[in-house]
């Protein structure tokens, strides 16, 4: 037998799920002879690419990991003493393996279906509790994108809630001792809103200035100084000026909380609670504030409510605040946040507890005290009076500074070098006495001094004292959850218990339309936790990050090939952040051309809520255009609006294929209309999974688009983040992409200010998308798109006799997703929500509910599900349709039925008493496949209204529940 020695197994066969036999069967059901025939009927000919993607030949998983390790090793990991909001930290093994590297946690979606998300909801409630405790505030959200954007959200919050006497105030003051990247992001976010950011010394600020409405301070500040802001904040308050404090969580363990100083908001990053630096991210930004702002608080808030049996249950609270509801009236566009990282940070607090955190914080502080004493003994001037773990050392001259840098880099250490001949040194959890001795030796050797004392000996005499009333006196993390899981076994079991409550991709398909829940392959995930990627500080000298730089260059080039664009920015940390960055790029382009008055953006009514929210944040006026009865953009209306506003038209935001799951034939004409009227076209790339290899944004006529790498390009959703939303642009927009204040990110001198704290956003998850493209190759990616369309159309054909399919293309085909109409069940009292909850009893997560059309479900299977899984899901939907029919025909009770009572828990079916008018079997094993792989929701239907009326957003002491029981 002849053997092909190059016949390696293909990654594509692991990613694209249906096999050849299944594909043949599916084509029969659809009624086409081949996949290509289906694609020809689905994707309009005039937008098809006529050439194959030019990408490197696909690698096998084994080949990829081997060659990628070599790239990773081009990153040289130095000891990082740079600080500036990013610190080395120790990820406890139990958290690394059981959360960060565990698909049970990282493949889950945003907890919209709360009954099957109680695990991560509990951990997010822990996160909020940890934050309110440490910051001394009343309410906190469940994460934002990073410290810079969190600080900007505080500015927006203060701006949008100004009281009468400050109605006209537009000045926001940022202390010059804030981290420079935070200041950069604040400037970006302020300008389009008409806010003037003033950077300066807070000591000389005139608080009586009627123009001034808000202030940002840093604590400890960027120079490491710890300052008591109590009197200053009181003065600000007396003048009706609001104050936000950007605070370091580890420092708060031993320092007076900003809430106790009177701060109105406290923001920051939870990175150093056990999340690797990762060359900038992802990390959980946090936001804590006063109760009075709860309705304006950006991002998600987790709250406690109760289920149908009156048991406590968690769910996302106050959702009416959010951008998808408020659209152009929203004050924040945050959608994907940083759930997985918030989960890790709170797990770190649970595992260490208040005592463990104190040990870490005091030890780091003690190290800094030792360093200060040693450097002073060596004859250096340390500027800090009160400090936590960061010191600023003055050296004689530029030359001395450069010498120290040279010696430090030879010994693989990075300090922070200020322009004024000072050097910053920030310590961290991994620092030990030998590191201090090494730093002292670097300073000595670089300046020709001799260390005449023994640092080890000094170390044994170190005493620490926090001066000036800045010592923390209040308790924190007193809730039992932070005090009972300190042994590894207990922690392991707690994490597993929570994980088991959540339905993720390890259980079954999650067919959330528009969210593209595809395979997150293990081989793609493995490099994320390699130290070569994890331990790189975002502001390390670029030459030390050669591996990362090579990865960025390749990824940008591949994404350009896939989209047809000329340049990419890898900075935005989410799709919505990409929308914002893209619109700013268009805005800066218009301004540079002397057309800064162009501020109208057209947005079709079917758009995702982040589109109008981002547009408003980018200083634009939103004009909503109509859709026709087929769900397509009403071209006549669009044309009329474009012409009506032609003098001030900035852009169009358009999703393609549309959020209705259709490739609109008129897209080229639509883009042309916008261009003819002086505007640019922003394409929302959330649906890119229907385009890759078949068409692309540049071909349809778009000028900018974001890609949700956490949708199309395999970054897992993490339970609601992280994500990445890089933007691609045509060449004339490229000079205006976001720049960065600290690190040159290669955009050039016309670059805008930063939209994220880190120059390349959440750099450490970019290897996932890189891996996906490298292992799929151009043909594999194109096959993925075709398979996604095949799977969607197979489901459409199986479901269409049972549920009306709302919109289809010219030939009756769906794109990669479809909308199933559930509104006709309303007369029988059945809502789309009942179907969503009933699916849980069948072991499935509901598709997207009520977006883009209320009362419907949008199903997107992706290419990574095989026919067997699609059939199980379709069988469940069809079976539910029959259950609805029983209600419609009066065979089942109108209120007391399997749909209204869903989901059913194990507790109610094992209870001695069973009073429901159908069998237990029907309740929990409605189809044969279910009993073989039963997923048990742990709570019954959750009452959201009750929770919003009795808002509770941090852990309740357990004793309160006991009391409730007694009553």
Ligand X SMILES: *Cc1c(COP(=O)(O)O)cnc(C)c1O
Note whether 138 and 163 are within 8 A (CB).
no
Radius of gyration over alpha carbons of the chain, in Å? 28
Closest contact distance (angstroms) between CB of 259 and ligand X is 29
Closest contact distance (angstroms) between CB of 760 and ligand X is 17
Q: Which is nearer to ligand X, 423 or 670 (CB)?
A: 670
Neighbour tally for 425: CB within 10 Å: 27
Query: How far is the CA of 497 from the CAs of 66, 906, 941, in angstroms?
Result: 35, 15, 20
Note whether 383 and 394 are within 8 A (CB).
yes
Closest contact distance (angstroms) between CB of 149 and ligand X is 12
Closest contact distance (angstroms) between CB of 658 and ligand X is 9
Closest contact distance (angstroms) between CB of 429 and ligand X is 31
Half-sphere exposure of 97 (CA within 13 A, CB side): 7
Closest contact distance (angstroms) between CB of 771 and ligand X is 20
Angle at 100 between CA 98 and CA 103, to 5 degrees: 75
Closest contact distance (angstroms) between CB of 608 and ligand X is 3
Q: Looking at beta carbons, which residue is closest to ligand X?
A: 575
Residue partners of 107: CB distance under 8 A and separation at least 6: 504, 505, 506, 517, 520, 716, 717
* Strands 242-247 and 212-219, bridge-based pairing: parallel
Strand, helix or coil for residue 14:
helix
Q: Which is nearer to ligand X, 249 or 335 (CB)?
A: 335
d(CA 551, CA 555): 6
Sheet harboring 312-317: ordered strands across?
312-317, 301-307, 942-943
Q: Which is nearer to ligand X, 149 or 544 (CB)?
A: 149
Q: Give helix then strand counts, H and E, for the chain.
A: 33, 26
Give the footprint of ligand X on this chain (CB under 6 A): 335-336, 514, 574-576, 608, 610, 655, 659, 684, 686, 708, 723, 725
Closest contact distance (angstroms) between CB of 342 and ligand X is 15
Q: Which is nearer to ligand X, 143 or 222 (CB)?
A: 143
What are the φ/ψ torsions at residue 551 (nearest 5 degrees)? -60, -45
Q: Which is nearer to ligand X, 335 or 555 (CB)?
A: 335
DSSP-assigned states of every residue in 178-234: S-HHHHHHHHHHHGGGTPEEEEE-GGG--TT-TTEEEEEEEES-TTSB----HHHHH
Q: Which is nearer to ligand X, 148 or 424 (CB)?
A: 148
Residue partners of 910: CB distance under 8 A and separation at least 6: none
Residue 708 CA from chain centroid, whole number: 10
d(CA 576, CA 707): 10
Neighbour tally for 946: CB within 10 Å: 14
Closest contact distance (angstroms) between CB of 723 and ligand X is 4
Closest contact distance (angstroms) between CB of 112 and ligand X is 12
* Strands 171-175 and 422-426, bridge-based pairing: unpaired
DSSP-assigned states of every residue in 563-591: H--SEEE---SSHHHHHHHHHHHHHHHHH
Sheet harboring 567-569: ordered strands across?
567-569, 727-729, 704-706, 680-684, 649-655, 600-604, 621-625
Q: Which is nearer to ligand X, 258 or 719 (CB)?
A: 719
Q: Which is nearer to ligand X, 181 or 574 (CB)?
A: 574
d(CA 795, CA 26): 9
d(CA 833, CA 124): 24
Closest contact distance (angstroms) between CB of 599 and ligand X is 21
d(CA 964, CA 104): 33
Q: Which is nearer to ligand X, 142 or 370 (CB)?
A: 142
Q: Which is nearer to ligand X, 526 or 763 (CB)?
A: 763
Q: Which is nearer to ligand X, 580 or 936 (CB)?
A: 580
Whats the size of the chain, residue-wise?
967
DSSP-assigned states of every residue in 108-136: ---SSSGGGBHHHHHHHHHHHHHHHHHHT
Q: Which is nearer to ligand X, 523 or 724 (CB)?
A: 724
Closest contact distance (angstroms) between CB of 313 and ligand X is 25
Q: Which is nearer to ligand X, 53 or 806 (CB)?
A: 806
Closest contact distance (angstroms) between CB of 282 and ligand X is 12
Identify the CA nearest to 349 among candidates 882, 926, 954: 954
Closest contact distance (angstroms) between CB of 765 and ligand X is 13
Q: Which is nearer to ligand X, 241 or 627 (CB)?
A: 627
Residue 72 CA from chain centroid, whole number: 24
């Amino acid at each position: 037998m002849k053997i092909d020695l190059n016949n390696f197994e293909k990654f594509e066969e692991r990613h694209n799920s249906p096999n050849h036999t299944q594909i043949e069967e599916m084509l029969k059901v659809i009624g086409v002879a081949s996949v290509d025939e289906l694609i020809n009927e689905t994707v309009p000919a005039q937008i098809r690419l006529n050439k194959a993607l030019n990408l490197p030949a696909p690698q096998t998983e084994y080949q990829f990991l081997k060659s990628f390790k070599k790239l990773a090793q081009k990153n040289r990991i130095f000891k990082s003493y740079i600080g500036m909001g990013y610190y080395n930290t120790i990820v406890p093994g139990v958290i690394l393996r059981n959360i960060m590297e565990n698909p049970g946690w990282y493949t889950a979606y945003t907890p919209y279906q709360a009954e099957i998300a109680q695990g991560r909801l509990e951990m997010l409630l822990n996160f909020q509790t940890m934050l309110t405790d440490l910051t001394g505030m009343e309410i906190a959200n469940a994460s934002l994108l990073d410290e810079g954007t969190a600080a900007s959200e505080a500015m927006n919050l203060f701006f949008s809630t100004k009281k009468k006497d400050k109605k006209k105030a537009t000045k926001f003051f940022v202390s010059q001792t804030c981290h420079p990247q935070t200041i950069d992001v604040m400037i970006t976010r302020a300008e389009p809103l008409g806010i003037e950011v003033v950077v300066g010394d807070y000591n000389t600020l005139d608080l009586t200035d009627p123009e001034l409405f808000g202030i940002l301070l840093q604590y400890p500040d960027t120079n490491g100084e710890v300052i008591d802001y109590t009197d200053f904040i009181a003065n600000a308050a007396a003048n009706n000026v609001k104050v936000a404090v950007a605070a370091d969580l580890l420092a708060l363990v031993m320092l007076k909380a900003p809430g106790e100083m009177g701060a109105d908001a406290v923001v920051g990053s939870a990175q150093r609670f056990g999340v690797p630096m990762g060359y900038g991210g992802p990390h959980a930004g946090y936001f804590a504030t006063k109760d009075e702002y709860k309705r304006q608080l950006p991002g998600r808030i987790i709250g406690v409510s109760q289920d149908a049996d009156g048991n406590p249950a968690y769910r996302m609270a106050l959702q009416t605040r959010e951008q998808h509801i408020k659209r152009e009236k929203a004050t924040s566009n945050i959608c994907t946040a940083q759930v997985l990282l918030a989960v890790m940070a709170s797990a770190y607090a649970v595992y260490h507890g208040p005592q463990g955190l104190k040990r870490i914080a005091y030890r780091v502080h003690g190290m800094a005290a030792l360093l200060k004493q040693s450097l002073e003994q060596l004859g250096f001037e340390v500027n800090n009076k009160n400090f936590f773990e960061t010191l600023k050392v003055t050296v004689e001259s530029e030359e001395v500074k450069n010498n120290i840098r040279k010696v430090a880099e030879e010994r693989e250490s990075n300090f922070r070098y200020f322009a004024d001949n000072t050097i910053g040194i920030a310590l961290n959890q991994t620092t030990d006495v030998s590191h201090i001795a090494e730093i002292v030796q670097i300073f000595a050797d670089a300046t020709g001094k001799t260390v005449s004392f023994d640092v080890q000996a000094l170390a044994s005499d170190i005493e620490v004292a926090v001066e000036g009333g800045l010592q923390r006196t209040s308790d924190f993390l007193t809730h039992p959850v932070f005090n009972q899981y300190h042994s590894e076994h207990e922690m392991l079991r707690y994490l597993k218990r929570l994980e088991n409550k959540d339905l993720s991709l390890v259980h079954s398909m999650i067919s959330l339309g528009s969210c593209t829940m595809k395979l997150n392959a293990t081989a793609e995930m493995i490099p994320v936790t390699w130290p070569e990627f994890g331990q790189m500080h975002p502001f390390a000298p670029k030459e030390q990050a050669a591996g990362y730089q090579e990865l960025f260059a390749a990824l940008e080039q591949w994404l350009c090939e896939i989209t047809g664009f000329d340049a990419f920015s890898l900075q935005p940390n989410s799709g919505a952040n990409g929308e914002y960055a893209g619109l700013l790029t268009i805005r800066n382009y218009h301004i540079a051309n002397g057309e800064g008055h162009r501020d109208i953006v057209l947005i079709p009514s079917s758009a995702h809520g982040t589109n109008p929210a981002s547009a408003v944040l980018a200083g634009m006026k939103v004009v909503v255009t109509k859709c026709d009865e087929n769900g397509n953009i009403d071209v006549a209306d669009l044309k009329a609006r474009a012409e009506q506003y032609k003098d001030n038209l900035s852009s169009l935001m358009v999703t393609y294929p549309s959020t209705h799951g259709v490739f609109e034939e008129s897209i080229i004409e639509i883009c042309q209309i916008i261009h003819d009227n002086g505007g640019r076209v922003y394409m929302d790339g959330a649906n890119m999974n229907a385009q890759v290899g078949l068409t692309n944004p540049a071909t349809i006529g778009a000028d900018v688009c974001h890609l949700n790498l956490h949708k199309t390009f395999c970054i897992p959703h993490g339970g609601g983040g992280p994500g990445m939303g890089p933007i691609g642009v045509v060449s004339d927009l490229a000079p205006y992409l976001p720049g960065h204040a600290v690190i040159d990110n290669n955009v050039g001198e016309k670059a805008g200010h930063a939209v994220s704290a880190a120059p390349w956003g959440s750099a450490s998850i970019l290897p996932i998308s890189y891996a996906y493209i490298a292992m799929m190759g151009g043909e594999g990616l194109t096959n993925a798109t075709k398979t996604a369309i095949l799977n969607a159309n197979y489901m459409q054909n199986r479901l269409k006799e049972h549920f009306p399919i709302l919109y289809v293309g010219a030939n009756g085909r769906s794109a990669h997703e479809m909308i199933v109409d559930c509104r006709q069940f309303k007369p029988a009292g059945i809502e789309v929500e009942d179907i969503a909850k009933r699916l849980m009893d069948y072991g499935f997560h509901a598709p997207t509910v009520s977006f883009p059309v209320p009362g419907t479900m949008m199903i997107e299977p992706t290419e990574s599900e095989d026919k067997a899984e699609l059939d199980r899901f379709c069988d469940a939907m069809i079976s539910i349709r029959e259950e609805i029919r029983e209600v419609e025909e009066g065979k089942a009770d109108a209120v007391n039925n399997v749909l209204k009572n869903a989901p059913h828990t194990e507790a109610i079916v094992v209870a001695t008493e069973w009073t429901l008018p159908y069998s237990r079997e029907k309740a929990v094993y409605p189809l044969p496949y279910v009993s073989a792989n039963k997923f048990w929701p742990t709570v019954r239907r959750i009452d959201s209204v009750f929770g919003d009326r009795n808002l509770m957003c941090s852990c309740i002491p357990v004793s309160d529940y006991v009391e409730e029981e007694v009553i």
